[in-house]
Structure 1
Amino acid sequence: MTDLFTASAPAREMVAHARPPWRRAVLTREGAVIGMLALVIVVALTTVPNFDSPLTVTFLLRDVAPILLIALPMTLIIITEEIDLSVASVVALSSVTVGILTRDGAPFELAMIAGVLVGAIAGVINGFLVTVVGLPSLAVTIGSLAMFRGISVGLLGTQAVTDFPEEWTSLARANIPGTPIPMIMIAFALLAIIFGVVLHATPFGRSLYAIGLNKEAAHFSGINVGRTKFILFVASGTVSGFAGVYFTLLYGNARGENATGMELAVIAAVLLGGVSIFGGRGALHGVIAGVLLIGTIGSALRLAGVTADIINVITGVVLVLSVVSASFLAWFHRTRATARARGGKQDG
């Protein structure tokens, strides 16, 4: 008898592709998140004072830009049934690296490159421990979260570096000419296209879903599971390092406590966007919508005078409901698939 909670990957795929194309495109978890984002925007525009201001758009996109950037590789990692909890600490370590080198007189361009390289090295460390040593990514990245944060705080202590070149800080805060959209969105769009093509239009991307569904089967089908996951952790560290450079320029300071708690916002957005924490499922457009949904809710509530604590509670409730609803829908579809399979056998 087929277990309701362990339906095979091929069975799930056949059930999904048995639906009409329009249903597969619209009636999905990602479509629901996009629809919810549109609804929240409409409600905020009609009920929240100043939400329609260009400044609101600018500050909203600036605030979520680091989360959007880091969510790209995080999506790929979670699809393979792994996780990287160290991303916020890597942002801080990158920021501190930029700050110390700038303070000590290094060319700022070199300091920025070093910040990105530090992130890449952090990704190499995580990837090595997970794929070569064979440790669980949850345990590894909890440990590296503490280690990278400790190094960041230890290097600067309670000090902060705030003296950065004006042309670079102005660029980080600048908008695309004639629009309220920050310039950083150009870099994000380019990275989103790259990650989107890799995930949804290449054999490498298909291998990520295969690994998430069944890593043993993926291995026997010829996929180098260890190398694939290693690449993802390096990509996560590199993008987090880049986000750390942007974070430093946007807020004009380098401190060991920068980006504290950001990893939770990233993971919340990825899960809200339809990526399964159990691996094997997810789409990048849903994740982007998830990040924007959380950011839009927070922005609207702040403009409405809601305190930060209440906003955190509401965000947490939304995340819990999204995970519970995803689990329920998965169970419901598996139950229907099993019932249809039994009905077919009986008819035969």
Structure 2
Amino acid sequence: MSITAVEIVLPGTVEPEELLTTRRELPPLRAGQALVRVEASGVSFAEQQMRRGKYYDQPAYPFVPGYDLVGTVLEVGSDADAALMGRRVAALTKVGGWASHVVLETADLVEVPADLAADEAETFVVNGITAWQMLHRYAKVRAGQTILVHGANGGVGSTLVQLARAAGVRVIGTASARNAEAVTALGAAPVDYRGDVPAQVRALAPAGVDAVFDHVGGPGIVDSFRLLAPGGTLVAYGSASTKDESGNSRLPVLRLFARLLLWNALPNNRHAHFYNIWSGLRRRTTFRTRLTEDLTAVFALAAQGVLHPQIAARFPLSQAAQALTLAESRTVTGKVVLVPDEQ
């Protein structure tokens, strides 16, 4: 099957309106590959950083952004399971998802439950894997514990809140005052991040919290660590506060990583981790197995109605620039999703 894909290209450190729309004939499928028609792709913080040249290990320009996607398998290569054809699948891609069609390894595809719409499922791919692994593989939360989620109205944050509540965990979530109602609706106690966050959290959890999930980094990471109760765990998974800093894009992450290592070396009965969704990729089989298990568990909760997709807005692929602009505005709850243009 010969397919010409429409792709959104990031040509360099440009403004959103300078994204390019191109067309490219996809190569023939090799063994173990699948041709997927993309039905939904997300606009995440990663793309916002890539636009600035600030994502830790982004490829050289130009490239097609798109960290994750959901779509339908149209064709499979030799040695691939023909039963995949016609099925809706999800994939974690890091780049390449902002396209009408993609070629992927079948081993990287995770089946989506039939009763989940493509745009709904999309909100749970990178966000769901990230939230599930941080909660259950890193912090190992238990029912009855209390956690703090920074950016509780965001894509990862809103998923973290819901997964934690499903596990019987009490959640305190930071957000702007205008998003307090949305955070409350998710099941968390809202805290205004523009105020004195440590004081507000201490008022709700005088003995400290059992885990903190922090994507902000910067100086505030010290407060996150100090808010931990004895035996508590800090999981850092970004450095959003430094996104506009000039200079080497790796330095903020390396400084954060060094600080976490230092805290772990001190006898303070608290733990600190840096979460990277791609850790363990060198052991590709184990990485794929874990990813499939975790995303399947998240999809199951969504299909049961335990998790609710937080879709901030939908944009056709041709309006990727507007979608990226909205995502960067920090005014939305949930995830901005790209969907196919109407035929």
- TM-score, normalising length: structure 2: 0.27
TM-score, reference length from structure 1: 0.26
Return the structure number with greater helix share.
1
Report the structure, 1 or 2, having the larger strand content: 2
Larger radius of gyration: 1
